[in-house]
Amino acid sequence: MSGKVIIFIDGSNFLGICREFDPTFQIDFDRLAQTLVKAVKGESYEGTYYYASYPPEGHLKTAEEKEHFIKQQGFFEAMEAVAPRSWTEAVAFK
């Protein structure tokens, strides 16, 4: 018996793995969710929560770290713009 499906994504690890695989890899989060729900034979899809954290104060010391942080913020903004709020609810936009 399958039931409701809720997906939780550990953003830091997820993005790190994707970058190692292919730095230009683009994720279709809707397709990912549909595939996972189908794989577990879910009856209903309740949402996806993408968790990420900001680095500690003073952590961004090099130009490369600062550039990475700016790109990450762009990713979060893009997710919020194209996805329902329930999709990005757990991301620290506040």
Residue 44 C-beta-side C-alpha neighbours within 13 Å: 3
The C-alpha atoms of residue 25 and residue 78 are separated, in whole angstroms, by 15
What is the predicted pLDDT for the residue at 83?
A: 59
Q: Is the CB of residue 50 less than 8 Å from the CB of residue 79?
A: yes
Residue 86 C-beta-side C-alpha neighbours within 13 Å: 8
Q: Is residue 49 part of a domain?
A: yes
Domain span at residue 73? 4-88
Number of domains the chain is built from: 1
What is the predicted pLDDT for the residue at 91?
A: 41
> What amino acid occupies position 85?
R
Q: What is the pLDDT of residues 59-72, one digit of tens each?
A: 778 888 888 888 87
Q: What is the pLDDT of residues 9-35, one digit of tens each?
A: 888 788 778 878 887 878 888 888 889
Q: Is residue 15 part of a domain?
A: yes
Q: Is residue 10 part of a domain?
A: yes
Q: Is residue 93 part of a domain?
A: no
pTM tops 0.75: no
